[in-house]
Structure 1
Amino acid sequence: MSQVTLEQLNAMPEQTAQATFLTCCSSEAWARGMTAARPFANHAAVYETADRIWAGLTEQDYLEAFSGHPKIGDVSSLRAKYAHTKALAAGEQSGVNSADEETLQRLAAGNQAYEEKFGFIFIVCATGKTAAEMLSLLEARLPNARSEEVNNAAEEQRKITRIRLEKLL
């Protein structure tokens, strides 16, 4: 995702703006709403509008956004994702559980169980979280009812979208 100025975002042709917003969140309805809401007066207006539009979407729109995330379910992709955390944890906090093989195996199994139970992948704003923290969150959310989990995942997606918008601008 390349950065743009607020002025560039406001001036983009409709199709380009929608494609740009889709890099932040893969819900077509959200991207259309953001495109239609331009021009934005400032960055705060972008973020407030993003939250307002997100809150007004349907479950189907949320599921569309969730499907835009890569599935983290196999151990080899998890191993690659968390390869650096073991060294970081050892250097910072010796008592922190790092991305050991057991954690990765449990995370892979938990991701699969989550998707089977809820019908969509586990969504969490992973920025700054270790594999062990992700596992803890996943295991805490697995017993939830589907309706509660759609809401939890939607809130996590909102946070992810905000971070992506901040990187975009």
Structure 2
Amino acid sequence: MAEPAVPPALMRFNSEPVEQVEDVLQAINAAPRFATEVAVGRPYPDVDTLVRRVEQVSRALPWEEVAVALTAHPRIGDRVTGSTAEARSSRREQNGMSAADAELRAAVLAGNRAYEQRFHHVFLIRAAGRTAEEMLAELDRRLANDPETERSEVTEQLAQITALRVRRLVEEGAA
């Protein structure tokens, strides 16, 4: 049985200078030590191994570093502008909000304000594959969390978002 072909983007990821790889990873997850911890594990034999490492590193980040990563994420429902990798990824991932009517958008906006007032940071959710209604339901559910539980949920959502973006980077060549 033949080994699956390594995608060209993964081959580039494995062979590019460490500084270049760290810059790309930092744009995906702004937590200070994330990029270095993932980059030093190269070369990765396949996409799944890399993604598992990305999830492991993301889930192990201390809250202070997760909080730094949060500053790079726009609010759910905000119109994301710009051409940075983060902006392009956010627009693509928040596609579920594009079909939301004015009432649903207003409910998400109000939920964001309540969440930020309660937890003092942006509401983070893996938006990819979720409808606006699903994101609002999660926002409402998570507003009832205590701060420690919510920090765990935010860290998990960051790990999922980071994994999706890294997978897209090394399978399709786009973060």
Task: Give TM-score scaled by structure 1 length.
Answer: 0.80
* RMSD, aligned CA: 2.2
Cα distance in structure 2, aligned partners of 1:83 and 1:146:
26
Residue in structure 2 matched with residue 157 of structure 1 by the alignment? 158
Q: Which amino acid aligns with 1:31?
A: A
What is the one-letter code of the residue matched to 2:40?
A
Of the candidates 38, 41, 46, which is equivalent to residue 37 of structure 1?
Answer: 41
Structure 2 CA distance for aligned equivalents of residues 158 and 22 of structure 1: 14
Partners in 1 of 2:98 and 2:67 — Cα distance? 31
* Distance in 2, Cα, partners of 1:18 & 1:115: 30
SS at match of 2:14: helix
Q: 1:67 to 1:49 in 2, by over 3 A?
A: same
Q: Deviations over 1:2-45 (max 9, x none)?
A: x9622211111121010111232111211110111112122122
1:85-114 alpha-carbon deviations (Å, 9 max, x no partner): 2xxxxxxxxxxxxx2222111110110111
Structure 1: 4+ residue segments shifted above 4 A: 80-84
How many residues end up aligned between the 2 structures?
A: 151
State the secondary structure of the residue aligned to 1:126.
coil
User: What residue ranges of structure 2 are gaps of 5+ in the alignment?
Assistant: 1-6, 81-93, 171-175
1:142 match: 143
Highest RCO, 1 vs 2 (Cα 8 Å, sep ≥ 6): 2
Q: Provide the residue aligned with 2:72 in structure 1.
A: 68
Identity of matched residues, %: 27
Q: Of the candidates 8, 13, 23, which is equivalent to residue 9 of structure 1?
A: 13
| Partner Cα separation in structure 1 for residue 39 and residue 101 of structure 2 | 43
What SS does the aligned partner of 2:139 have? helix
Render the CA deviation track for 1:63-101: whole Å, top value 9, x for unaligned: 111211112466xx39x966742xxxxxxxxxxxxx222
In the other structure, the counterpart of 2:173 is none
Check whether the contact 1:73–1:109 (CA below 8 A) recurs between aligned residues. Answer: no
Q: In the TM superposition, what is the alpha-carbon distance from 1:53 to its structure 2 partner?
A: 1.5
Contact 2:59 2:156 in 1 (8 A): no
Q: Does 1:112 align with 2:113?
A: yes
Partner of 1:48, secondary structure, is helix
Amino acid at match of 1:41: P
